[in-house]
Amino acid sequence: MVEVDGEVVGVSGWVVVVVVDDVDVDVEVSGSVVVVVDGIVVVVAGSSWARASPVCDTAMLAATKVAAIARTQGLNRTRTDRKSDGGPDQWARRRQLSSSGRPSMVCRFRRAGPSGGPPRLSPRTFHASSPRRPGFPAGRPGPAPYDPAVGDLGFDGKVAVITGAGGGLGREHALLLASRGARVVVNDLGGSVRGEGADDGPAARTARDIEDLGGVAVADTSSVATPEGGEAIVATALEAFGRVDIVVNNAGILRDKAFHNMTPDLLDPVLAVHLEGAFWVTRPAWAHMREQGYGRVVCTTSSSGIVGNFGQSNYGAAKTGLVGFTRVLAIEGARHNIRVNAVAPLARTRMTEEVLGGFADRLHPRVVSPVVAWLCHEDCPVSGEVFAVGGGRVSRFFTGLTPGYFDPDLTIEKVRDNFDTVRAEEGYTTPASLAEELAELFTRFT
């Protein structure tokens, strides 16, 4: 049961969220932990909170589920003033009134077991004289858990297709978008890091976790590497939800080898999954985005291609190809309100954990997802840009064109003698298209 000031406002098996500020709350729920809302959602925390990571896991899941259910029930949302303590904006929600007259929101909470969620807990009581949003539990490096009830950017009514979402970055993208109201197609073939084999489990687990948290998701295990697979993935979205608004091209594999040892069996699958996969998934979605006059596409490129990395000529070529893909689609999609951007993430995943060394724990994939989500949002104003994201840093990669050296009667010797001028970066420009570069060149002819 849940008691607020001694008065029972809920029963075992139900989560009762009381929307009040700064109250003393005693919570006792058999086998689980209930969350209490401060403004909207704050997990009940005690002095032993930081040492109770299983409790934090369970409560964080409960908080996400409560917020998602509130959203799907159509509770009104309006911006409120920024809190005086500098905290983020919060949603002010229409609230049901409990029998005591206190504002409250009642949602069912299904306890998750060891196989599909946090550990079951024995009955216990937590006290919080001043409920607060918890940080990440001690002993588990990474950012604070999501608090989807805080923030004013939602994806209600939007349908997102996310490839490679059975684990790592894609899973985090799917969880975040779903927690903010998007309906998600979780695509993952379930193969190994090398792209071998298949397993329905990863996609199904992510979709089930989203649903257990109160979100909406369907799993898809089609391959991105073929036109038929791409069509099937988008068909899953259309059959389940009737539309597609967002595509996040995240699926990837690795077959690293130094260039002198590169063979077709190491090159072709990497190009097929990373580069061609983006083509085959985005293309069928693109037709629907053009028709509805709206779409958002995010591609996953890599610094391994943009700036280079030893032993990854296949991967780097595929990932840099996605930069060109992103730039061209941004131009073609502009008139249809389709925006296309890319991220170059630095994050700990099964593909990177062996190369990141001691910094792996600082590069949690969860802190990449907010950038991806922003690029997927209808309010995002940019298109055709590439962002480097990792460990909390967000930066922009761009292509600069130096003023260079101009001589209509160019010779080899003139190139040699003026090579420093050619390479000098002062006064560079960032042309947004081939047309802009040509326009700059044509000014030299006058």
Catalytic residue among 294, 315, 405, 428: 315
User: What are the E-state strand segments in 206-363?
Assistant: 216-220, 246-249, 295-300, 338-345
What is the distance between the alpha carbons of residues 320 and 308, in angstroms, rounded to a whole number?
Answer: 10
- Taking each helix axis from N to C terminus, what angle separates 369-376 and 168-179, rounded to the nearest 10 degrees? 50
Which parts of 334-403 fold into alpha helices (H)?
369-376
Closest CA to 247 of 182, 189, 166: 182
Q: Token match 């930069």: residue?
A: 323
Active site (annotated) includes residue 315: yes
First to last CA, the chain: 81
User: DSSP label at 354?
Assistant: T
Closest CA to 277 of 234, 327, 328, 332: 234
What is the distance between the alpha carbons of residues 383 and 397, in angstroms, rounded to a whole number?
Answer: 13
Closest CA to 23 of 106, 81, 104, 110: 104
353: part of which helix (H) or strand (E)?
A: none
What is the distance between the alpha carbons of residues 2 and 17, in angstroms, rounded to a whole number?
Answer: 9
What is the distance between the alpha carbons of residues 354 and 346, in angstroms, rounded to a whole number?
Answer: 13
Q: Strand 183-187 to strand 216-220: parallel, antiparallel, or no bridges (unpaired)?
A: parallel
Using alpha carbons only, give the angle 213, 217, 220 rounded to the nearest 5 degrees: 135
212: part of which helix (H) or strand (E)?
A: helix 201-212
Please identify every residue annotated as catalytic. Answer: 315
